[in-house]
Amino acid sequence: MNSMFQSLMNAWKLPDLRKRLLFTAAIIAIYRFGCYIPVPGVDLQALKELTTGGGVFAFMDLFVGGALERVAVFALGIMPYITASIIFSLLTVVVPSLAALAKEGEAGQKKINQYTRYFTGILGFIQSVFFVFLFRSQGAFTEQNPLTPLSFYLIVMTLTVGTILIMWLGELITQRGIGNGMSLLIFASIVSRLPGGLYKMFGTTSPLTWLLMLVIALAVIAAIVLIQEGQRRIPIQYAKRVVGRRVYGGQSTYLPLRINMAGVIPVIFASSVLILPVTLAQMTPWSWAKALAGAIGPGTWWYLLVEVGLIIFFTFFYTAVQFNPLDQADNLKKYGGFIPGIRPGRPTAQYLDRVLTRITLPGALFLASIAALPQVLIQGVGVPFYFGGTSILIVVGVALDTMKQMEAQLLMRHYEGFLK
């Protein structure tokens, strides 16, 4: 514990790191402030039941830190950006022109990011229009405060601009702060809802149930940390090279392959993919669409089944995007490295791919099981708020990733880090 505080003090002593920490805190504060500024012309009392019924909107409200309940400027949250990112990640695999851009390095990635930003604005606008019609169906506009063309325009533009502003704030954190900006904003939203959820649990559950939930939560957090930090180390041997009278190479090292290389991205992606169609179905005037959305919304077994499948899919997909065995094998061959017992080149790539598949599968199943576990507990124990496995995975995963970035900053300056 003392070393932890000493590491924090070391981080605070570094001017550059202190500046990054203060900048990140300031952006998160601005984001939370925006979650309390209501859009004009909406009766908030008429929408109370929308986010307290435990359905898709209550689940969505968790990811935006209560901004949807308040119909705030940031009510749409970061979900339009995540949806746009998912779509372009998939398109880079199937569309040749985007695949070529992705291979161009930093310049191509900047172009794809620009397309993602434009599409985020379009999705934000579409979602804003649907939300206005949803608000009208819930009686949020009265005779004294009717929905006029001007108020319709103001609400839609406010929500759309709010989405674009959130995207910009997240990118600012990524560029000039600590950690991944988008993940930290979701982290801040979920954590902000935790005190209220715990207060409800205190008032509606017995001490024994509370103690049981605490033990389970601690065990889940410990398991998440263990899996997130777990890795398979592939031994690498470098051949000796003689240049003049000097001998280079010959040392041994290892290639670390993490069990969960994708982090919490599959969980965020799966939640976003499921929330969007269910949300749009709830906003339609058709009763059959609303009934279908209720049947497959958060808290149902159908939702859980699809979420598990999507988490497994996105774990393998994002791992393949992050780590290319063929490129890794080529780099090893280029610099004279090889895996003992495995021939360089394509055999090395096939070996890495086989090992990566074997360790990614249990990692994906673990993520899916953690996301599914609270659903079973909610049905059996009756937890009065939706702080499920998805939320726990995101909170713990983002905290670990942010800690690692601070760790890297400290080690670069010859300080002892957080992680031992």
Three-state secondary structure of the chain: CHHHHHHHHHHHHCHHHHHHHHHHHHHHHHHHHHCCCECCCCCCHHHHHHHHCCCHHHHHHHHCCCCCCCCECCCCCCHHHHHHHHHHHHHHHHCHHHHHHHCCCHHHHHHHHHHHHHHHHHHHHHHHHHHHHHHHHCCCCCCCCCCCHHHHHHHHHHHHHHHHHHHHHHHHHHHHCCCCHHHHHHHHHHHHHHHHHHHHHHHHCCHHHHHHHHHHHHHHHHHHHHHHHCEEEEEEEECCEEECCEEECCCEEEEEEECCCCCCHHHHHHHHHHHHHHHHHHHCCCHHHHHHHHHHCCCCHHHHHHHHHHHHHHHHHHHHHHCCHHHHHHHHHHCCEECCCCCCCHHHHHHHHHHHHHHHHHHHHHHHHHHHHHHHHHHHHCCCCCCCHHHHHHHHHHHHHHHHHHHHHHHHCCCCCCCC
Size (the chain), residues: 420
The predicted structure's pLDDT at residue 403: 81
Task: Please say if the pLDDT value at position 384 is more than 90.
Answer: no
The predicted structure's pLDDT at residue 231: 86
**Strand, coil or helix: what is 256?**
strand
Helical segments of 142-204, H only: 149-176, 181-204
d(CA 400, CA 320): 22
> Please, are residues 188 and 35 in contact by the beta-carbon 8 Å criterion?
no
d(CA 100, CA 107): 11
| Mean pLDDT of the region 286-309 | 73
The predicted structure's pLDDT at residue 171: 92
d(CA 336, CA 340): 12
Task: Considering only residues 16 and 244, tell me which one the structure prediction assigns the higher pLDDT.
Answer: 16
Task: Please say if the pLDDT value at position 23 is more than 90.
Answer: yes
Nearest in space to 401 (alpha carbons), one of 273, 269, 260: 260
Task: Considering only residues 52 and 30, tell me which one the structure prediction assigns the higher pLDDT.
Answer: 30
The answer for residues whose C-beta is within 8 angstroms of residue 287's C-beta and 6 or more apart is none
Task: Please say if the pLDDT value at position 412 is more than 90.
Answer: no
d(CA 391, CA 49): 22
| Mean pLDDT of the region 75-94 | 85
Q: In this predicted structure, which of 78-82, 259-263, 275-279 has the lowest mean pLDDT?
A: 275-279
> Please, are residues 136 and 145 in contact by the beta-carbon 8 Å criterion?
no
Q: In this predicted structure, which of 74-83, 277-286, 354-363 has the lowest mean pLDDT?
A: 277-286
- The pTM of this model reads 0.78
d(CA 317, CA 360): 10
Task: Please say if the pLDDT value at position 204 is more than 80.
Answer: no
The predicted structure's pLDDT at residue 158: 92
| Mean pLDDT of the region 257-271 | 82
Confidence of residue 51 (pLDDT cuts 50, 70, 90): low
The tens digit of pLDDT for each residue in 224-240 reads: 888 888 888 888 887 76
- The CA angle 226-231-235, to the nearest 5 degrees, is 155
> Please, are residues 29 and 68 in contact by the beta-carbon 8 Å criterion?
no
The predicted structure's pLDDT at residue 25: 92
The answer for residues whose C-beta is within 8 angstroms of residue 163's C-beta and 6 or more apart is 74, 76, 77, 80, 81, 120, 121, 123, 124, 127, 128
Task: Considering only residues 346 and 417, tell me which one the structure prediction assigns the higher pLDDT.
Answer: 346
Confidence of residue 173 (pLDDT cuts 50, 70, 90): very high
d(CA 64, CA 260): 26
Confidence of residue 390 (pLDDT cuts 50, 70, 90): confident
- Cα distances (Å, whole numbers) of residue 24 to 31, 41, 373: 11, 32, 32
- Give, in words, the CATH class of 2-205+262-322+384-412: mainly alpha
The HSE-up count of residue 9 (CA atoms within 13 Å, CB side) is 6
Task: Please say if the pLDDT value at position 416 is more than 60.
Answer: no
The predicted structure's pLDDT at residue 379: 61
Task: Please say if the pLDDT value at position 119 is more than 90.
Answer: yes
Domain residue ranges in the chain: 2-205+262-322+384-412
Strand bridging mode 252-258 / 241-243 = unpaired
| Mean pLDDT of the region 337-355 | 87
Mean residue pLDDT across the chain:
80
> Please, are residues 35 and 72 in contact by the beta-carbon 8 Å criterion?
yes
Confidence of residue 385 (pLDDT cuts 50, 70, 90): very low
